[in-house]
Each structure stands twice: as C-alpha cells, then as structure tokens.
C-alpha cells in the first residue's frame, strides 16, 4: 500500500512539474536585463552627476580668479560672453553695468587668438577627440577619451562656431589663470557648469586678444586715474570752501 502511495505521489509530482513548466514557457518575460552603464554615463540616464574634484584646487586661486559679480560697463547686450585673454578673465554681461567674472586658463604663447564667435553646441561631460593638428604636435596623446571626471574637457563644453576651440572645464584647476592651452578656454568645472546653465546656443562670444585686452586694461586704469584725480580735486575744493566759510564767520 505504501509503495502504491509513493508511486502515485511521484506521478502527481511529475504532472505538476509539466504543468508549471508549460505555464512559465507560455508567459512572456516582464523584466528586462540590467544594462551595464559606465559610471561616467549614469547622469545621462537620470542619475546624479559623478562627483568631481574641481573645487579641490579652487581654494588656492587668487581672489580675482574666483567667480563673482562685479561692476562692468559694456555696450554689449546682456548674455554676451567677453573673454579677456591678457587678464585671464571671462565676463558674462548681465546689464546694468554688472557682469559675472570667472577666472580662466587661455592659450599659451603662439596659441592665443581673437574674434567674434557664437556658441554652436553645448555638451555635458563631453568626449574628447584630439584634433589632427594637436596630434601632429603631440603624437603621444590618446585618440579618444570618454567623457567623465578624468577627461581634460571637464564637466561641460561650449563649442565655438567656425573653430576647433571650446570653452570647457578642466580636471587640473591649477591651470586657471595661466597661459597653457592650445587655444581653448579652460574653467573650473563648477564655473563652466554655472556658465553652461546661463547661456544658450547662439550666444555671442567676443575673444579679445592680448593687445586688445591691454588696451582695455589701460583704458580702465586711465579712467580710474581720472576719477581719482577728480575725487582729489573735489576734496580740495570742498576744503578751500570750508576754510573760506570759517574765516568769514570769524
């Protein structure tokens, strides 16, 4: 009797297994396999941007190279970017005689340039393809570097029309305030991210060369000197008037 029950139980188990297998085979899979995503690409799928080290060297920057709103008189429309190569500053014109000033790294000797361009493309965590001209000068460079914290273009890139140049971030904050690049404009990752969020494709970009920048600087210094002279003359005039008034009362 026990052998009979055992035999029947085994038959039921086999039938149950067949039925379960049939059901599973006829039911479409609902879950998709997990995609393998490079850590540097997680932000593209809704994940937060990977941490960057742009602020690790920013504390060592001179005060004038740190992002700040300053008094800045310009005839250009608000939203215009003005790059002062000589002083290694980039200005975003706000209007009302104000601008945001950022510290930048610029082209080394022989690689500075000037002109008026526009932003033709904006890219987050851009890939880097060194141009042919750069590879000819530096053949040891890689042919491709994927976007991410280790990429020399940093967190953001603003591509300038009709050129090979970009305004981009950097993974080396120590280059800010220096003439080190092959013509591109470098910014702290935090600064280029801030600028990226404020400007659009089509934004006007004015790059002032060394001579133009020096002329502007000399003009500003001349204006500053004139204003100081006026202030000094005004103070002297007020002193003389006060002295005359006091003497008259005596």
What are the contacts of 16-24 at 24+ separation with CB within 8 A?
none
Give pLDDT, residue 24: 40
In the predicted structure, residue 43 carries a pLDDT above the cut 80: no
Q: Which of 38, 75, 89, 184 is catalytic?
A: 184
Catalytic position from the list 89, 168, 179, 245? 168
Greater pLDDT, 136 or 32: 136
Tell me: pLDDT of 74 over 60: yes
> CB 131: neighbour CB atoms within 10 A?
10
38 included as an active-site residue:
no
Measuring CA to CA, how many Å separate 20 from each of 15, 16, 26? 9, 6, 10
Tell me the average pLDDT across 63-78. 97
pLDDT value at 34 more than 60: no
Q: Please tell me the distance from the alpha carbon of residue 204 to that of residue 169, in angstroms, as a whole number.
A: 19
Q: What is the DSSP string of the chain?
A: -HHHHHHHHHHHHHHHHHHHHHHHHHSPP-PPPPPP--GGGGGGGTPPPPP--GGGTGGGS-GGGS-EEEE---SSPTT-EEEETTTTEEEEEEETTEEEEEE-BEE-TT----EEEEEEEEEES--B---HHHHHH-TTS-S-B-SSTTSTT-SEEEEETTSS-EEE--S-GGGTTSEEESS-EE--HHHHHHHHHH--TT-EEEEE-HHHHHHHHHHHHHHHHHHHHHHHHHHHHHHHHHHHHHHHH-
Where does the pLDDT of residue 20 fall: very low under 50, low under 70, confident under 90, or very high at 90 and above? very low
Per-residue pLDDT of 86-118, as tens digits, reads: 999 999 999 999 999 999 999 999 889 999 999
Classify residue 165 by burial, with Cβ atoms within 10 Å: 0-12, 13-18, 19+. buried
Question: Per-residue confidence at 165, pLDDT binned at 50, 70, 90?
Answer: very high
Cα dihedral 229, 233, 238, 239 in deg (nearest 10): 100
pLDDT tops 60 at residue 235: no
Lowest mean pLDDT among 18-22, 31-35, 78-82, 174-178: 31-35
Q: Cβ–Cβ contacts within 10 Å for residue 157, how many?
A: 24
Q: How far apart are CA 15 and CA 76, in angstroms?
A: 83
Over pLDDT 90: what percentage of the chain?
48
pTM for this model (two decimals): 0.64
pLDDT of residue 236: 52
Q: Share the mean pLDDT of the chain.
A: 75
pLDDT, tens digit, 9 for 90 and up, residues 121-140 = 999 999 988 878 888 888 88
pLDDT in tens, 170-190: 989 999 999 999 899 999 999
The mean per-residue pLDDT over the stretch 199-227 comes to 68
Q: Phi then psi for 106, rounded to 5 degrees?
A: -130, 180
> In order of start, what are the domains of the chain with their CATH numbers?
54-213 (2.40.440.10)
Q: In this predicted structure, what is the pLDDT of residue 190?
A: 95
How does residue 232 score in pLDDT terms, banded at 50, 70 and 90? low
pLDDT number for residue 150:
87
């Amino acid at each position: 009797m026990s052998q009979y029950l055992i035999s029947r139980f085994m038959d039921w188990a086999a039938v149950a297994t067949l039925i379960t297998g049939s059901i599973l085979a006829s039911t479409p899979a609902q879950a998709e396999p997990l995609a393998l995503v490079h850590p540097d690409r997680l932000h593209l799928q809704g994940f937060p941007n990977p941490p960057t080290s742009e602020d690790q060297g920013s504390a060592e920057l001179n005060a004038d190279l740190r992002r700040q709103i300053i008094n800045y008189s310009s005839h250009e429309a608000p939203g215009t970017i003005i790059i002062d190569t000589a002083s290694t500053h980039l200005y975003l014109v706000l209007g009302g005689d104000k601008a945001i000033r950022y510290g930048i790294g610029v082209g080394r000797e022989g690689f500075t340039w000037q002109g008026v361009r526009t932003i033709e493309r904006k890219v987050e965590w851009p890939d880097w393809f060194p141009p042919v001209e750069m590879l000819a000068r530096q053949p040891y460079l890689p042919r491709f570097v994927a976007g991410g914290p280790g990429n020399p273009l940093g967190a953001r890139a603003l591509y300038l029309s009709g050129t090979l140049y970009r305004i981009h971030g950097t993974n080396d904050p120590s280059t800010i305030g220096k003439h080190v690049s092959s013509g591109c404009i470098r910014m702290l990752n935090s600064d280029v991210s801030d600028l990226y969020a404020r400007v659009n494709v089509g934004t006007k970009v004015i790059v002032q060369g060394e001579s133009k920048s020096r002329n502007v600087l000399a003009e500003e210094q001349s204006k500053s000197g004139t204003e100081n002279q006026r202030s000094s003359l005004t103070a002297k005039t007020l002193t003389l008037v006060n002295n005359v008034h006091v003497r008259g009362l005596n």
